[in-house]
Amino acid sequence: MNIQAEKIELAKLLLNTNNPRIIQSIRKIFKKEKSSDFLDDLNSDEIAEIKKASLEIKEGKITDYETFMAKHR
């Protein structure tokens, strides 16, 4: 089935339902799809920190969890 036919079929199903839970579920799906990537909500300092951390990981500058926690107990 092509995308246009699929959309028409879904529209028919939506128009024929009286179940508010189905309508709410569909609305949630669309809201989730429209929500932006979390990076869009970060400021430039936060993005810079993430990039710096990513670079450190690539360079092998990491500490495993147990070693980190041992220093802070």
**3-class DSSP string for 8-54:** HHHHHHHHHCCCHHHHHHHHHHHHHHHCCCHHHHCCHHHHHHHHHHH
pTM of the model: 0.44
pLDDT > 70? residue 59: yes
Work out the average pLDDT over 37-65. Answer: 89
Question: Could you report the per-residue pLDDT of 6-21, keeping only the tens digit for each?
Answer: 999 999 999 999 999 9
